[in-house]
Structures are given as C-alpha cells and as structure tokens.
Amino acid sequence: MVFQVKSIGTIRTPYKDIAPYQPIENDVGEFKVIIDPEYEDGLKELNRFNYIYLIYYIHMVKRRLSMLVIPPWSDGKEIGLFASRSPVRPNPIGVSIVKLLKINKNEIFTSGLDVFDGTPLLDIKPYVKDLDSKEDANYGWIEDMKDKEHLILHIKGIPHEY
C-alpha cells in the first residue's frame, strides 16, 4: 500500500546540512515551527503542555537504505535499522520531543532540534506525563556499550568533562 501525507508546516533551525543526532535541550539559536495558517486553530490549548512531539519528513536523505546500520555511537556494532534512530528508513519519518517555549499565532518556539532548516512538519502531539514516560524504559543494545553513561551524555549533547 502506498499512502500520501502532506506537510502541515515547516521547521526552522540554524542547521543547513549538519545537525545533532538527537535534540539538545539547551541548544543555542532559534528553533521554531511555522504551521500553515489553515491549521492554526488546531494549536488551541497546546501551550498548556511543557513538551511536544514533532513528527516530520526527513526530506533530504541521500544515503542508501540498508536494513543493517552502524550507529555513530555503537562502537562499530551493526544493528537492525529498526533498533536505531537512523534517518535513512523505508519511510523517512523522524520524531523529536522538544520543550515548548511559546506559541505566537502560527509559530511555535521550541528548545533545540535535530533537523535541517526547512524540514517539512507532518504532525504535532502533546507529550503527556505518565502516558509518554515509562518507568521501566531501558537502553536496549546501548546497555552493552562500554562507558554507557558517558555515551548518553554525547547522544544528548550534554557538555561534560572527559
């Protein structure tokens, strides 16, 4: 089956062709989403949430699709694509959880994002306490990496002493 989706807005970031692997919450620069005016009413009460999901089309992927990937932080370990957050997927759809800073008409200002400027937005959902945070979540294959705690700081872009 083939489906059609349409962009509902555009994500604006300072990143033209290099972006962090995952959102950096205290990243420097302006990060915002501009919703097409026809969807502006859909933002009513969204500002009540501290965090939101942004779902987008990773539109500039050039790398070849492969079912096995070596994530940048896996120390050379090969894993299945669906056990990774690689942007190169059969359907190049990305998800980022960001802090909602403010909404001004059809513009949503957020904390740092991991996408290139101009990335087409597909959807927004509120991140709901308890519903979206699982107490028994783990690190999957990342558990096997040596110096896991240090690695997590890198993945999250948190500055630290080496």
Ligand X SMILES: C[S@@+](CC[C@H](N)C(=O)[O-])C[C@H]1O[C@@H](n2cnc3c(N)ncnc32)[C@H](O)[C@@H]1O
Nearer to ligand X, 105 or 153 (CB): 153
CB of 36 to ligand X, least distance (A): 18
Nearer to ligand X, 6 or 44 (CB): 6
CB of 41 to ligand X, least distance (A): 27
- Residue 35 vs 94, nearer CB to ligand X: 94
Give the rounded distance of the alpha carbon of 118 from its chain centre. 14
Give the separation between CA 24 and CA 45, rounded to whole angstroms: 25
Tokens of 157: 């872009």
Min CB(71)–ligand X separation in Å = 8
C-beta closer to ligand X: residue 60 or 65? 60
Q: Which residues of 107-131 are buried (b: 16+ CB within 10 A; e: fewer)?
A: ebbbbbbbbbeebbbbebebbeeee
Q: How far is the CB of 44 from ligand X (least distance, A)?
A: 26
The structure tokens 């970031």 sit at 13
Classify residue 40 as exposed, middle or buried by CB count within 10 Å of its CB (0-12, 13-18, 19+). middle
Q: Are 88 and 61 in contact, with CB atoms under 8 Å apart? A: yes
Closest approach of ligand X to the CB of residue 113, in Å: 8
Select 19 or 35, whichever has its Cβ closest to ligand X. 19
| Residues within the interface to ligand X (CB under 6 A) | 19-22, 58-61, 85-87, 94-96, 114-116, 119
Nearest-CB residue for ligand X: 60
At residue 39, the 3 state secondary structure works out as: helix
